[in-house]
Amino acid sequence: MMESSSGISLARAEAFLRLFAILVLVLTACLLGFDTQTKLLFSTIKKTATFRDLGALQVVVYVDSVAAGYNLLQLGRGFISAKLKGKLINVSYVTLPWVCFLLDQAAVYTVFSVNTAALQGSIIAVTGESSLQWMKVCNRYTRFCIQVGGALLIGYLASLIMILLSSLSAFSLFRLYSPKQFLLLKPT
Amino acid sequence: MMESSSGISLARAEAFLRLFAILVLVLTACLLGFDTQTKLLFSTIKKTATFRDLGALQVVVYVDSVAAGYNLLQLGRGFISAKLKGKLINVSYVTLPWVCFLLDQAAVYTVFSVNTAALQGSIIAVTGESSLQWMKVCNRYTRFCIQVGGALLIGYLASLIMILLSSLSAFSLFRLYSPKQFLLLKPT
């Protein structure tokens, strides 16, 4: 009774966004994880570049996988609460939106920050930092670096989707409150 | 008429947080900007470490200064709209909260990401990245590096305050909407 058709369309938009976020996060992790390039150095030593060479890229692979799992759980939560709507609505009137809001905030800042850290590491790999005598590495492993760049770009797309998701969960939570009194719930 | 005493207390909490954010952002920028250490290398060459040696630290100094200015403007906006409350309330019923929400979101993600990028650069400076032949630099400029670490820690405090501020502005915006219909405004 409480949820109107627009409540369902909001849930649908959220489910669609979460599915999209999962796909994009998994794509980022795969693009980084399976990116390798082998080069001959000094015509004798073979060296292979992988995501393990830069700590920040490793962190992105792990964090993005965990974030994809988290969004999958949230997607399942959405389906379950849609099925049990009548029974759960009183238990989880404010608690569940608060939990979702806080978890979504934590997830989006984590994904966004590890992606940015990896971008920073990659920028140093592209340009070098002459004052610290850190040399460029991307002039040797060009194809590898282009794939990393693409993965990070898609990682930012994932961050953007998760920002939208966190705004949606903020909307779902804060619209329950009165527009006049601070932190006073609206009458149902 | 529309704003009750709790509306004023919300504005007060926001003003207090913004003032705190300005102080912390300026402190971060100053700690980084005025951090220098000079060392003799090979007993002949003098080398001075400053925030200009690492691109990411430069960006933090500039972005944190701009963010402090932005929060100052928002603080002024709060005071002006408190003075002109009766006159502005109809013009800015939803537009102003939306603008504040979007600007706050942009500001918090920018500050958070440049801080994280600088942290990533600094971690490489502390640990080095042996697979890429980037060497440690913090064993030579220890005092400089400790000050950078402190500044970044305070930068994360600033990010945390700005996350709270963006949640407050999301609250101020989304509580204006109906809890049942999607994006339907409540009757005033």
Q: What is the mean pLDDT of chain A?
A: 85
Query: Residue B180 to residues A163, A174, B95, B174: CA-CA distances in angstroms?
Result: 23, 12, 21, 12
In terms of DSSP bridges, do strands A37-41 and A45-49 run parallel, antiparallel, or are they unpaired? antiparallel
Pair A161, A21: CB distance under 8 Å: yes
**Per-range mean pLDDT, top range of A108-117, B133-142, B177-186:** A108-117
pLDDT given for residue A188 in this prediction: 57
Q: Please determine, for residue A133, whether its predicted confidence score (pLDDT) is greater than 50.
A: yes
pLDDT confidence bin for A156, thresholds 50/70/90? very high
> Closest to A175 (Cβ–Cβ): which among B119, B127, B178?
B178
Rg, chain A, Cα only: 22
Rounded CA separation A183/A181 (Å) = 6
Q: Is A30 within the bounds of a domain?
A: yes
Structurally, chain B folds into a number of domains equal to: 1
- Global pTM? 0.85
Q: Please determine, for residue A58, whether its predicted confidence score (pLDDT) is greater than 50.
A: yes
Tell me the shortest Cα–Cα distance from A72 to chain B, in angstroms: 24
Rounded CA separation B120/B114 (Å) = 10
Rounded CA separation B169/B105 (Å) = 9
Taking an 8 Å cut-off on Cβ atoms, the answer to whether A105 and B2 are in contact is no
**Percentage helix, strand, coil for chain A under 3-state DSSP, each rounded to 5:** 70, 5, 20
In chain A, which residues have their Cβ closer than 8 Å to the Cβ of B187? none
Q: Is B184 within the bounds of a domain?
A: no
Rounded CA separation A60/A58 (Å) = 5
Return the residue in B93, B124, B137, B141 with the most chain A beta carbons within 10 A, the one to mutate for interface testing.
B124
pLDDT given for residue A27 in this prediction: 95
pLDDT confidence bin for A91, thresholds 50/70/90? low
Query: Residue A77 to residues A66, A74, A80, A88, B86: CA-CA distances in angstroms?
Result: 16, 5, 5, 12, 44
Q: Please determine, for residue A177, whether its predicted confidence score (pLDDT) is greater than 90.
A: no
Q: Is B186 within the bounds of a domain?
A: no
Q: Please determine, for residue A132, whether its predicted confidence score (pLDDT) is greater than 50.
A: yes
Q: Is A144 within the bounds of a domain?
A: yes
Pair B74, B106: CB distance under 8 Å: no
Query: Which residue segment(s) compose the domain that A75 sits in?
Result: 5-174
Average pLDDT over residues A116-131: 88
Q: Is A187 within the bounds of a domain?
A: no
pLDDT given for residue A89 in this prediction: 54
Q: Please determine, for residue B137, whether its predicted confidence score (pLDDT) is greater than 50.
A: yes
Average pLDDT over residues A61-76: 95
pLDDT confidence bin for B132, thresholds 50/70/90? confident
Name the phi and psi angles at B92, rounded to 5.
-110, 30
Q: Is B77 within the bounds of a domain?
A: yes
Among B residues 67-96, those touching chain A with beta carbons less than 8 Å apart: none
Rounded CA separation A88/A80 (Å) = 10
pLDDT, tens only, B155-186: 999 999 999 999 999 998 988 888 776 667 76
Q: Please determine, for residue B36, whether its predicted confidence score (pLDDT) is greater than 60.
A: yes
Among A residues 15-54, those touching chain B with beta carbons less than 8 Å apart: 52-54
What was the ipTM of the complex prediction? 0.83
Tell me the shortest Cα–Cα distance from B109 to chain A, in angstroms: 8
Structure tokens at B164: 């709270």
Residue type, B36: T
Between residues A35 and A1, the one the model is more confident about: A35
pLDDT given for residue B149 in this prediction: 93
Point out the least confidently predicted range of A53-57, B5-9, B51-55. Answer: B5-9
Reported as half-sphere exposure (CB side, CA atoms, 13 A), residue A71 has a value of 29
Type and span of the H or E element at A87? helix A85-88
Q: Is B111 within the bounds of a domain?
A: yes
Q: Please determine, for residue A4, whether its predicted confidence score (pLDDT) is greater than 60.
A: no
In chain B, which residues have their Cβ closer than 8 Å to the Cβ of A52? 131
Q: Is A87 within the bounds of a domain?
A: yes
pLDDT, tens only, B45-78: 888 888 888 888 999 999 999 999 999 999 998 8
Return the residue in A42, A105, A116, A144 with the most chain B beta carbons within 10 A, the one to mutate for interface testing.
A116
Q: Please determine, for residue A154, whether its predicted confidence score (pLDDT) is greater than 90.
A: yes
Average pLDDT over residues B74-96: 74
Q: Which of A22, A35, A39 has the alpha carbon at shortest distance from A122?
A: A35
